[in-house]
Chain A
């Protein structure tokens, strides 16, 4: 069978599907972002750059964008700091059925609903909530903790949601490191820190990068977690974009803000790519 036909028959169903469901809809969005109004019904529409202009005219859009990127960076960092040691311990300090059981336990939360998990956090953190109730029961007179509707509450909810991604991607790449290699390094006199920083981290870098990308991008666009956990402090570019689509019906502006956000995300990823390549 010739290669061309084989490749085509293997990949065309998937790529046709992606064209229909991702590529064409996104093109439609791009088109919308240059319109003055949503072309539904009898509305008059014209071409305009105004939607993109709005972002640069009003300072608060870029302030919120920056805030979202900061949130993305913080969540990713926390996930890395918490998740990498966890993946390392799972891959290299446990074996057999225990390892499998723990692995199952770590991926199982994926099958529970993300919304319900965040909602449960609100039950834990809110006034008279579980945390406050039991802390006051243990140490009477502690009073309200005021954790709900704060930036740390959002951080906690997001780190919790995305941590399994980091553990999983790091685990896959750490698990692939040959134990004999580590043994060899050790017998040549390398210390634990040297092994960790010169061997394990560089070899696990693909996993770290994959995990970071899988976390960073959705966090920047997140709106549900900030809304539920952040209250007054939960306004980010994601919530503003959601408002444009659901509450305000200004799809052109929503689309323009989305494309600006995507463009900035791409810039950040490009900025990091030389670093990644150097490690390889």
Chain B
């Protein structure tokens, strides 16, 4: 064997690498980008969808909105469907990451509640950049075993009685917005960041730990690491339904953060029509009712689907107190400069939390 043989070996290995690296995509397969375990990747749903349309679905996940945007930026023409929090839909459209959706042929779109279908965060100049999918609120949830009386105020998170019992999501925007809710400020354009900074610092003795995912939340909750923690309404019902945890979600008197998630199609998606079929399926009552009753879901933007839920379902009853619901502030787009300020504020707060 000579050195040339070695070289050839290296070249040969390269060839293998290249062949393995370029994966072949069949026509009836779409790529969906979403949070893990957030509806679109339920195995039974994908089976149901495949039975109806013959389309296979492959998933890729992100751990933060910024990561989702990064993935869209660095992988043009790869994804067919992406879940975008409507607060970011405008930004994604302006950057050219997603395209306008022609909704003709999507039968279920007409059943969406009109306020959500035409929400200005999703629709620009008559062009639909995101199809409203589900919405919910962010506030906090408590362990019913530890709280005989469910707190009614968001101040419970700051209550010295709860020192060392609070779980908090490690997310700058959410943290600042919760403090804004507590202080009665506009969550999308806080008037007094100094007061928010101070309010967040006051959390130090209360916070036991940060959480970053629903699964982590369930584990910490079940291990009694925290007794009350910030949480999302849809996830709270999942914790209750799927894991049988004694969780109660609180809609505080001060209000809460509302969010609306839409499904969008990235620019130059390779399978546009299949993507539309999938989005249509995702807002179908058949899918939603099963998702909410068997797994647990946020509230559907499809009014017809919600009305088909059992009468005592969380998603039909929770938002019946119109006074409280009126106080929910929906997340809207945010200026880059403000976002950066918020991020730095949160990191500084985390540094302050260190003992």
Contacts and interface: CB of A to CB of B under 8 A. Distances in A.
A and B in direct contact, judged by CB atoms within 8 A: yes
Interface of A: 9, 13, 40-42, 58, 60, 63-64, 67, 126-129, 148-149, 151, 227, 231-235, 240, 243, 246-250
Contact of A128 (B208, B224, B355): B224
B43 interface: no
Interface string B33-45: 0000000000000
Nearest to B216: A228
Contact of B343 (A40, A227, A248): A248
A231 to B, nearest CB: 3
Contact of B67 (A9, A41, A58, A246): A246
Contact of B224 (A58, A127, A234, A249): A127
Nearest to B10: A13
Interface of B: 3, 10, 63-64, 66-67, 69-70, 73-74, 95-97, 168, 171-172, 207-210, 212, 220, 222-225, 340, 343-344, 347-348, 350-355
A231 B210 contact: yes
The 5 closest A-B pairs by CB, nearest first: A231-B209, A60-B351, A249-B66, A235-B350, A247-B64
**Chain B facing A: main interface SS:** helix
B136 to A, nearest CB: 21
A64 B64 CA distance: 23
B85 to A, nearest CB: 14
Given A42-B95, A235-B350, A250 B210 contact: no
A235 B225 contact: no
A157 to B, nearest CB: 15
Nearest to A251: B70
Given A41-B95, A42-B95, A126 B225 contact: yes
A232 B208 contact: yes
Contact of A231 (B95, B97, B208, B222): B208
Contacts of A227: 212
B66 A128 contact: no
A248 B343 CA distance: 7
A232 B210 contact: yes
Nearest to A243: B347
Contact of B355 (A233, A249, A250): A233
Given A149-B208, A246-B67, A64 B351 contact: yes
Contacts of B64: 246-247
A235 B74 contact: no
Contacts of A42: 95-96
Contacts of B97: 41
B67 to A, nearest CB: 5
A247 B96 contact: no
Given A58-B344, A234-B210, A248-B172, 11 more contacts: A41-B73, A41-B95, A63-B351, A127-B223, A128-B223, A148-B209, A151-B355, A231-B210, A240-B347, A247-B171, A249-B69
Nearest to B66: A249
Contacts of A64: 351, 354
A249 B351 contact: no
A137 B64 CA distance: 41
Given A243-B347, A247-B67, A248-B66, A127 B73 contact: no
A96 to B, nearest CB: 37
A58 B348 contact: yes
Contacts of B171: 247
22 contacts: A41-B95, A41-B97, A60-B347, A60-B348, A60-B351, A64-B351, A64-B354, A126-B220, A126-B225, A127-B223, A127-B224, A129-B223, A148-B209, A149-B209, A149-B225, A232-B210, A233-B353, A246-B66, A246-B67, A247-B63, A247-B64, A249-B69
